[in-house]
Structure 1
């Protein structure tokens, strides 16, 4: 590379860096040709740390119905005969901040019947999944269950329905009294507000499995 090409690329790099508030340009003047090092500024570092802190170390805990957990309680499998939901509540309790759990649909014969959402600590898991007022979340057929009521999500695209291999990020935003579900494949986020009278703190995540062999893991 000749000197003129190097100067041109350096000028382009300066423009890119100057337009990005997340980077600082540091030159090492001890070198005949400046060595360029890019560092994130303190404000961006704080944002990144905050975002990373959202991922929590949770696992499956309380189960109802024909469900088996692996030895680490990170994988849940439906072992019934498609005669009703298997319900699995998370171990951790959530009452503040914004926390995220990632799930992967490892195997399923009926992705449209899978459920991801939350419940409260004193909820009766022996009730039907959809009839419990403390339950709020999403089914794989583009529908939602909100405190005992069923509704459809506006988007009815087939691609938006849960599929085998999907990775879903369930975020419990206690500070805003809402939950969020982000599908990494579709790059879409759905948000639901939570009525604290129906689903008071502390919250637990809740997963529903329906068909024999359905398998969901925490990743």
Structure 2
């Protein structure tokens, strides 16, 4: 404190006693008593500043000695744990789907081998066979062996289109489904691989696939072997929980595409031109239908034009399990499901 040489004013604190000091910090006029109190208050504030200083110093020491305890480090650790858990879950889902696909694939080959076994047993018992049959059996056995070793209907892929530094892995299964249940004057031929419309001259008919789908991604290929000039074939899916009907475009839970005009069926209701759909199908075209249970959508590709169309599936309207659902209308129309 400095002794004032100017005209003395009253103490700012008590407003009674003449001041004898002016605080150079706050420029307050203070009497002796309050000047001492002011100095004591400043001393207490100094101690607080020193304490803050010491605490900050200790924080710096702690951070240097244990940098892994920093809050931002904890945030990274939590991200790592959560990301690892997600990766483990995706991998486990892929393993489950792969095992299911391999089991189905092996069972299909076993069924084919069983039929060959029956034919060979009968041939040996009857001792009634010729060279061409031997050639045919040999070819069938080689095909079974090749299919067993290659598992060409199953693949493990990584999504190269992802913007993340870790690509997503997924299993795709090209299912060996067959036509199984039908309604209307439609005929199933060649052990479930072909459907033919037998109504004259036309009538709605439909057929379901044999298998059910609830997980993963499944691809099917169809060849349009006969196609009436007026054009009406339906490719899609139906929930197993819904009764099979002959008209896919009016059946609740049906989703798919009509090869006539540009009609897309969403829950049994036609939506022309949905998502830009344009029908360009011709006789002998091959179409690929992808049933993606994981993403809850289906897609259709005409392999000749390479045009691809996709529609989402509302699970509240079309719950799992899903089944293949195809419809024919004109007499003679014929579709083959490819292996």
1:133-157 Cα distance to aligned partner (Å, 9 max, x none) = 1111001122101112211126476
- Measure how far apart 1:188 and its partner are: 1.0
More divergent stretch after superposition (99-108 vs 126-135) = 126-135
Decide whether the 8 Å contact of 1:111 with 1:163 is kept in 2. no
Decide whether the 8 Å contact of 2:179 with 2:188 is kept in 1. yes
Structure showing greater relative contact order (alpha-carbon pairs closer than 8 Å, 6 or more residues apart): 1
Gap change, CA 1:134 and 1:46, over 3 Å in 2: closer
- Measure how far apart 1:212 and its partner are: 0.5
Structure with the larger strand share = 1
Decide whether the 8 Å contact of 2:236 with 2:254 is kept in 1. yes
**Higher-Rg member (1/2):** 2
- Measure how far apart 1:83 and its partner are: 3.8
- Give the SS at the match of 2:271: strand
Gap change, CA 1:196 and 1:51, over 3 Å in 2: closer
- Equivalents in 2 of 1:156, 1:91: separation in Å? 28
TM, length-normalised to structure 1: 0.72
Match of 1:184 in 2: 303
Deviation above 3 Å: which 4+ runs of structure 1? 50-53, 154-157
- Give the SS at the match of 2:294: helix
Structure with the larger helix share = 2
> What is the total number of aligned residue pairs between the two structures?
172
- Equivalents in 2 of 1:51, 1:104: separation in Å? 27
- Measure how far apart 1:53 and its partner are: 4.0
TM, length-normalised to structure 2: 0.48
- Equivalents in 2 of 1:71, 1:86: separation in Å? 18
Match of 1:47 in 2: 157
Unaligned 5+ segments in structure 2 are 1-154, 159-168
> Of 222, 231, 237, which residue of structure 2 is paired with 1:118?
237
